[in-house]
């Protein structure tokens, strides 16, 4: 679940506590191109104020206008974009159809229970009984998907992508700040006391110990990203040695082309890493956008991570004579 959806749930709870009525809207199913994936959330307040998104905007306007039609505990499933004319009217991509589940009377206790489990770091399946509106919550796997059945709708919530950053550097700080809105739960390991003492990013967790032990304790899986940004080979190499042998989805290391070449040679010479394992290393990590400052480097890294997560293969990027990044056109 993206952090904007966590914001939706927190806002819904706050509005309820302030005495407002709310409507919770969830993308249940999509066909063809769609602006927002299944599971995306929107909450509407009784005065028409809303937080979140289920489309590009036109569907939200329609939901606000029609909110008074939905008042029962039983959820209502509404389809948009069934016809070409309707798709154009609501700004959906050509051929796109969007089904949303509208819940008009969700008990505040249900939202509190869901938020408690999410904020504890748990991935949660929210099963909605389509006849009664009742919720059932249970632990979910990282790879679980939102599904719509005849009797039950299931949405997945929680931090399904974990990021372990080795080194509490300035790059790490910007990575942590920017990663949360992109659905990454960030953890940091740095045994150096002076770096740990200066860490100042709320919502992140420190893992004690040396980097290799931290990677092992993290138990990397197919939804895990491990990045080394300490600029200290002793720390970075320890983490990479363990990470490249793990099931981590993405392993990356900050450094120049020469630094990366030296690192791979060092790992191959002194450790029992295979060529296939070394080939898993993303280095220099991030898209080559000419980044120099810590925030620019963080943007480059996160852009590459999002592309990899979305299974997008990017075209090669080459440096032009003027040193400005230029996209090489496919022949």
Domain 161-327 bears CATH identifier 3.40.50.720:
yes
Rounded to an integer, the average pLDDT of 215-234 is 92
Per residue in 161-172, pLDDT tens?
Answer: 899 999 999 999
Banded pLDDT at 78 (limits 50, 70, 90):
very high
Per residue in 50-73, pLDDT tens?
Answer: 999 888 667 888 899 999 999 999
Helix, strand, coil shares, percent, the chain, to 5: 35, 25, 40
Residue 327 vs residue 257, higher pLDDT: 257
Order of strands, sheet of 97-103, starting from the edge strand that comes earlier in the sequence: 50-52, 41-45, 22-31, 97-103, 76-80
**pLDDT of 118:** 87
Is the pTM value of this prediction over 0.85? no
**pLDDT of 127:** 98
**pLDDT of 50:** 95
CB within 8 Å of 19: residues ≥ 6 apart: none
Residue 331 vs residue 308, higher pLDDT: 308
Average of per-residue pLDDT values in the chain: 87
Partners of 318 in the β-ladder: 326
Q: Please name which of 108, 105, 46, 52 lies closest in space to residue 75, comparing C-alpha atoms.
A: 105
Partners of 45 in the β-ladder: 22
Residue 96 vs residue 136, higher pLDDT: 136
d(CA 244, CA 258): 20
User: Pairing state of beta strands 224-228 and 205-206?
Assistant: unpaired
CB within 8 Å of 63: residues ≥ 6 apart: 23, 25, 42, 44, 54, 100, 102
Q: What percent of the chain has pLDDT over 70?
A: 88
d(CA 202, CA 292): 25
**pLDDT of 33:** 61
**pLDDT of 322:** 47
d(CA 87, CA 261): 51
For tokens 């440096």, what's the residue? Answer: 319
Per residue in 226-282, pLDDT tens?
Answer: 999 998 989 999 999 999 999 999 999 999 999 999 999 888 887 778 889 999 999
Banded pLDDT at 300 (limits 50, 70, 90):
very high
Query: How many angstroms separate the most distant Cα atoms in the chain?
Result: 69
Q: Write down the domain spans for the chain.
A: 3-157, 161-327
**pLDDT of 328:** 41
**pLDDT of 82:** 56
């Amino acid at each position: 679940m993206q952090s904007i959806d966590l914001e939706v749930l927190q806002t819904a709870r706050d509005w309820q506590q302030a005495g407002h009525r709310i409507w919770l809207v969830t993308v249940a199913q999509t066909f063809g191109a769609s602006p927002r994936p299944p599971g995306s959330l929107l909450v509407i307040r009784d005065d028409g104020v809303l937080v979140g998104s289920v489309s590009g905007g036109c569907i939200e306007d329609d939901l606000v206008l029609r909110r008074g039609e939905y008042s029962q505990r039983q959820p209502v499933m509404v389809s948009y974009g069934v016809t070409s004319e309707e798709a154009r009217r609501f700004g959906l991509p050509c051929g796109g159809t969007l089904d949303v589940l509208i819940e008009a009377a969700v008990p505040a206790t249900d939202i509190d229970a869901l938020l408690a489990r999410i904020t504890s770091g748990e991935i949660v399946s929210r099963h909605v009984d389509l006849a009664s509106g009742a919720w059932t919550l249970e632990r979910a796997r990282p790879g679980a998907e939102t599904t719509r059945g005849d009797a039950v709708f299931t949405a997945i919530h929680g931090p399904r992508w974990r990021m372990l950053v080795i080194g509490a550097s300035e790059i790490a700080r910007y990575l942590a700040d920017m990663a949360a809105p992109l659905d990454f739960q960030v953890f940091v390991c740095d045994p150096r006391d002076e770096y740990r003492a200066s860490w100042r990013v709320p919502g992140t967790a420190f893992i004690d110990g040396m980097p290799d032990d931290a990677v092992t304790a993290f138990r990397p899986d197919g939804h895990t990203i491990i990045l080394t940004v300490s600029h200290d080979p002793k720390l970075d190499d320890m983490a990479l040695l363990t990470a490249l042998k793990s099931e981590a989805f993405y392993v990356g290391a900050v450094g120049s082309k020469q630094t990366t070449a030296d690192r791979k040679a060092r790992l191959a010479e002194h450790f029992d890493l295979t060529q296939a394992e070394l080939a898993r290393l993303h280095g220099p990590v991030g898209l080559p956008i000419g980044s120099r400052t810590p925030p620019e480097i963080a943007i480059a890294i996160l852009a590459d991570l999002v592309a990899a997560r979305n299974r997008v293969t990017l075209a090669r990027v080459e440096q032009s004579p003027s040193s400005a990044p230029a996209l090489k056109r496919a022949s």
